[in-house]
Amino acid sequence: DVKHDERDFIKKLPRVQRYSKSYMHRDVIRQVIVTKKGKIITSSKDGHIKFWKKTADDIEFVKDYRAHIGEVHRMRENIDGGYLASISQDDKTVKIFDIENYDMMNIIKLDYQGSSLGWVKLKRLNKWILVVGEEESGIIHKYEIDGTKVGEEKGIHRTTINSIRYNSKYDVVVSCDKKGGIEYWSLDEKIRKDLRLAGINFQYKTHTDLYEIQKKSGTGAYQIEYSNDFEKFSITASDGLTRVFEMTTGKLIKRYGGEEGKGEITLEEMEYGRRLATERELYRTEAVEYSNAVFDQSGKILLYAGLEGITAVELETDRVVSVYGVDEIFRFVNIGIWQNYVSKKPRSVESRIQQIDPTIFTTAFKQDRIYLFSNTENEGERDVFNEKPSAEVLSLSVQEQQQQQQQLLKSTEAIVRTTMGDIHLKLYPELTPKTVHNFLALASKGYYNGTIFHRVIRDFMIQGGDPSGDGTGGESVYGAQFEDEFVDSLRHDKPFTFSMANRGPNTNGSQFFITTVPTPWLDNKHTIFGRAVSGLDVITKIEHLKVDKLDRPFKEVSIVSIDIS
């Protein structure tokens, strides 16, 4: 058992070693981010990103984005917690979010597979640059927040980069790759030529321990985390070890976990065997690449997940201060920690410590929940059912699926979330059932996510819904073109009418348009199935974008997602 310790930095760790609560996604959660301002961000295999905020003794759900079609491969926030970027290898896009306002700002389409991403500050211009590592080649692509590509960095890595982390104190980036390579570099040309100009005390890697992982054949480096003072960083690796390096010297300070772990906890033989089997399974999957090791606020404690649970070790003495989750059945993977004040800062040191609600947030292998370890002893139900269980869990019957389909058909409202704002639609399923069903069914499976408004004509309309992005593509939910549904009571007699685009009679697919003026000449030629009732200013902004000779906007406006109600 861990001895009682009254030092302040120990008091600011969670006291309770069992998790106090857990919250759901609808698929396996891959990553958790805890920002300095108390925002919690979680991502899952089904492409969803959820935003939460820390409250006095819990967290509160704020917003859910279907950010990607496919898995969210990586997320990364910038150091001050203002921006978030996410990347998916399935839809080959990067999404950029304003964390403070929980809004999506931009979409960047990639013509390569991205493996990692990070934020680097150009101090001389006082702006953030998003850097994206390319799978296999290790080329680093650079973008401004608006999505403009501003260059590439070649030769820093020559294989897949797993983590890119910026150290703002020294204006230096540390990155690592799947072959164990660890590199220091900078966007500042002077610092790149001589790291010593930034306060780094070596000129050549041979003077450091940065080859430590690379020397072990077949060992990859996973995730990098900094201490709050940026003087140390941790790296997890495929050999099961967590290493701590000194930033200015690149020297190895500590090594924890794996076969060298001290095994502070004695497990019953059968339980140890079960956990060992889980451990081996984890290391055979890509899920292990999300393993990280985080520092507490003081930089004196390192927390890392392993077979026994989440171990908190004092770096100076190597003493294990606590092991969280040792009695739980899960293998925890990706960790974040909160140790600040949620409300107004108390005056006295003692009251400050008492009012802090230290919380460890962690994912677990093959679990669709985020687990919270805190000071709360929760003897009741710990697992909050904040999501409807998935079809895989409930094995929905055919009848239930049919009921869901009928409910979808009855939906009369949708919100088209774009990179310029939200457009609220009123739909007419009773008048044009087949057309509304086509739109809702496509929207519900994320078909329109990431598509652009490819044709914009001022004083006429804005057109979208084509995955190919040029007006030549798109397919209906029925697999073939379907017939028009003309209704006498629905006319193109006012602006903001929502209609189907087509190539002639009965050629409806997935494309649609929203008028910006009355267009009576379109009556009985294009099926009306809704009208915009809010976000009309967003439509007008899109309408007034500058376009090329083909009426394609120079500035791309994308559909982020479509919410159905």
| Local confidence band at 261 (pLDDT 50, 70, 90 cut-offs) | very low
Reply yes or no on whether 513 is catalytic: yes
| The predicted structure's pLDDT at residue 271 | 84
The Cα 69–Cα 562 span in angstroms is 13
The answer, yes or no, to whether residue 292 has pLDDT greater than 90, is yes
Neighbouring residues of 416: CB distance < 8 A, sequence distance ≥ 6: 422, 423, 424, 425, 448, 535, 559, 562
Reply yes or no on whether 125 is catalytic: no
The Cα 336–Cα 60 span in angstroms is 16
Average pLDDT over residues 272-293: 93
| The predicted structure's pLDDT at residue 397 | 45
What tokens does 370 get? 């985020």
The Cα 222–Cα 215 span in angstroms is 15
Q: What is the DSSP letter of 389?
A: P
The Cα 87–Cα 135 span in angstroms is 12
- 255 sits in which H/E element: strand 252-257
Q: Which of 502, 508, 511, 529 is catalytic?
A: 502
| Local confidence band at 356 (pLDDT 50, 70, 90 cut-offs) | confident
Tokens 């080959």 correspond to 92
The Cα 498–Cα 458 span in angstroms is 16
Nearest to 93 by CA among 83, 102, 104: 104
The answer, yes or no, to whether residue 335 has pLDDT greater than 80, is yes
Query: Which of the residue ranges 39-43, 139-143, 325-329 would you say has the lowest mean pLDDT?
Result: 325-329
Reply yes or no on whether 361 is catalytic: no
Q: What percent of the chain has pLDDT over 90?
A: 82
| Local confidence band at 347 (pLDDT 50, 70, 90 cut-offs) | low
The answer, yes or no, to whether residue 349 has pLDDT greater than 90, is no
3-state class (DSSP) for residue 229 = coil
Query: Which of the residue ranges 101-105, 346-350, 447-451 would you say has the lowest mean pLDDT?
Result: 346-350
Which residues on adjacent β-strands are paired with residue 246? 232
| The predicted structure's pLDDT at residue 264 | 62
Which residues on adjacent β-strands are paired with residue 314? 301, 319
The answer, yes or no, to whether residue 494 has pLDDT greater than 60, is yes
Higher pLDDT, 103 or 270: 103
Reply yes or no on whether 526 is catalytic: yes
Query: Which of the residue ranges 39-48, 228-237, 284-293, 398-407 would you say has the lowest mean pLDDT?
Result: 398-407
Average pLDDT over residues 260-289: 81
| Local confidence band at 5 (pLDDT 50, 70, 90 cut-offs) | low
Nearest to 336 by CA among 375, 289, 372, 376: 372
Give CB contacts under 8 A, 24+ apart, made by 280-289: 281/365, 282/331, 282/333, 282/365, 283/238, 283/240, 287/28, 287/30, 287/333, 287/365, 287/366, 288/222, 288/238, 288/333, 289/162, 289/220, 289/222, 289/223
Reply yes or no on whether 506 is catalytic: no
Phi, psi for 306 (deg, rounded to 5): -160, -165
The Cα 483–Cα 165 span in angstroms is 53
Average pLDDT over residues 99-121: 96
Q: What is the pLDDT of residues 370-403, one digit of tens each?
A: 999 999 988 888 999 998 765 554 444 445 455 6
The Cα 199–Cα 561 span in angstroms is 45
Average pLDDT over residues 301-305: 98
Looking at this protein, which amino acid is placed at residue 243?
A: R
Average pLDDT over residues 461-485: 94
Neighbouring residues of 397: CB distance < 8 A, sequence distance ≥ 6: none
Q: Which of 460, 486, 491, 545 is catalytic?
A: 460
Reply yes or no on whether 386 is catalytic: no
DSSP 472-541: S----TTSS-B-----TT--S-SSSEEEE--SSTT-B-S-EEEESS--GGGTTTS-EEEEEEE-HHHHHH
Which residues on adjacent β-strands are paired with residue 130? 119, 143
What tokens does 539 get? 């439509």
The answer, yes or no, to whether residue 259 has pLDDT greater than 90, is no
| The predicted structure's pLDDT at residue 405 | 62
Contact status, residue 450 vs residue 507, Cβ threshold 8 Å: no
Work out whether strand 319-324 and strand 127-134 pair parallel, antiparallel, or are unpaired: unpaired
Query: Which of the residue ranges 279-283, 407-411, 535-539 would you say has the lowest mean pLDDT?
Result: 407-411
Contact status, residue 32 vs residue 42, Cβ threshold 8 Å: yes
Q: Which of 463, 508, 511, 531 is catalytic?
A: 463
Question: From the CB of residue 453, how many other CB atoms can be counted at a distance below 10 Å?
Answer: 27
Average pLDDT over residues 468-496: 94
| Local confidence band at 427 (pLDDT 50, 70, 90 cut-offs) | very high
Higher pLDDT, 273 or 102: 102
The answer, yes or no, to whether residue 250 has pLDDT greater than 50, is yes
| The predicted structure's pLDDT at residue 200 | 96
The Cα 454–Cα 283 span in angstroms is 44
Query: Which of the residue ranges 5-19, 31-45, 58-72, 280-294 would you say has the lowest mean pLDDT?
Result: 5-19
Which residues on adjacent β-strands are paired with residue 563? 415
- Residue 367 has, within 13 A of its CA and on its CB side, a CA count of 22
Quick one: 415 exposed, middle or buried, by C-beta within 10 A (0-12, 13-18, 19+)? middle
Query: Which of the residue ranges 40-54, 83-97, 125-139, 340-354 would you say has the lowest mean pLDDT?
Result: 340-354
| The predicted structure's pLDDT at residue 396 | 40
| The predicted structure's pLDDT at residue 291 | 98
Q: What b-and-e string marks burial along 97-109, b requiring 16 or more CB atoms within 10 Å of the CB? A: bebeebbbbbbbe
The Cα 88–Cα 386 span in angstroms is 25
Q: Which of 66, 513, 529, 531 is catalytic?
A: 513
Q: What is the pLDDT of residues 174-188, one digit of tens each?
A: 999 999 999 999 998
Q: Which of 110, 439, 522, 529 is catalytic?
A: 522
Average pLDDT over residues 487-516: 96
| The predicted structure's pLDDT at residue 266 | 74
The Cα 184–Cα 175 span in angstroms is 7
The answer, yes or no, to whether residue 351 has pLDDT greater than 60, is no
Query: Which of the residue ranges 48-57, 171-180, 259-268, 471-480 would you say has the lowest mean pLDDT?
Result: 259-268
Tokens 């924890």 correspond to 256
The Cα 266–Cα 248 span in angstroms is 38
Contact status, residue 52 vs residue 61, Cβ threshold 8 Å: yes
Q: Which of 74, 526, 529, 531 is catalytic?
A: 526
Phi, psi for 333 (deg, rounded to 5): -130, -70
The answer, yes or no, to whether residue 260 has pLDDT greater than 60, is no
Q: Which of 455, 498, 511, 531 is catalytic?
A: 455
Higher pLDDT, 83 or 342: 83
Q: What is the pLDDT of residues 141-197, one digit of tens each?
A: 999 999 999 999 999 999 999 999 999 999 999 999 999 999 999 998 889 889 998
Q: Which domains does the chain have, with CATH numbers?
A: 8-391 (2.130.10.10), 396-564 (2.40.100.10)
What's the predicted TM-score (pTM) here? Answer: 0.71
Contact status, residue 203 vs residue 194, Cβ threshold 8 Å: yes
- 442 sits in which H/E element: helix 433-444
What tokens does 452 get? 């652009």
Contact status, residue 289 vs residue 162, Cβ threshold 8 Å: yes
Reply yes or no on whether 292 is catalytic: no
